[in-house]
Amino acid sequence: MSTEKRTVESIQAPAPTPVSTPLSMREVAGLLVKHYGLHEGSYDLMIEFKIGVGTVGADSDDEKSPGAIIGLSRVGLVLSKKAGITTVDASTVNPPRKKTKQIKASGSR
pLDDT digits 0-9 by tens, 13-28? 888 898 999 999 999 9
Q: Is residue 109 part of a domain?
A: no
Give the residue among 102, 83, 81, 78 at the shortest CA–CA distance from 29. 78
Q: Is residue 42 part of a domain?
A: yes
Q: Is residue 43 part of a domain?
A: yes
Confidence of residue 2 (pLDDT cuts 50, 70, 90): low
Task: Please give the model's pTM, rounded to 2 decimal places.
Answer: 0.68
- The total of structural domains in the chain comes to 1
Q: Which domain holds residue 43?
A: 21-93
Asked if 80 and 44 count as a contact pair (C-beta separation under 8 A), the reply is yes
Share of the chain above pLDDT 70, in %: 82
User: 13: left (phi > 0), else alpha (psi -120 to 50), else beta?
Assistant: beta
Please state the length of the chain.
109
Q: What would the mean pLDDT of 21-48 be, rounded to a whole number?
A: 96
Range in 4-8, 56-60, 78-82 the model is least confident about = 4-8
Q: Is residue 64 part of a domain?
A: yes
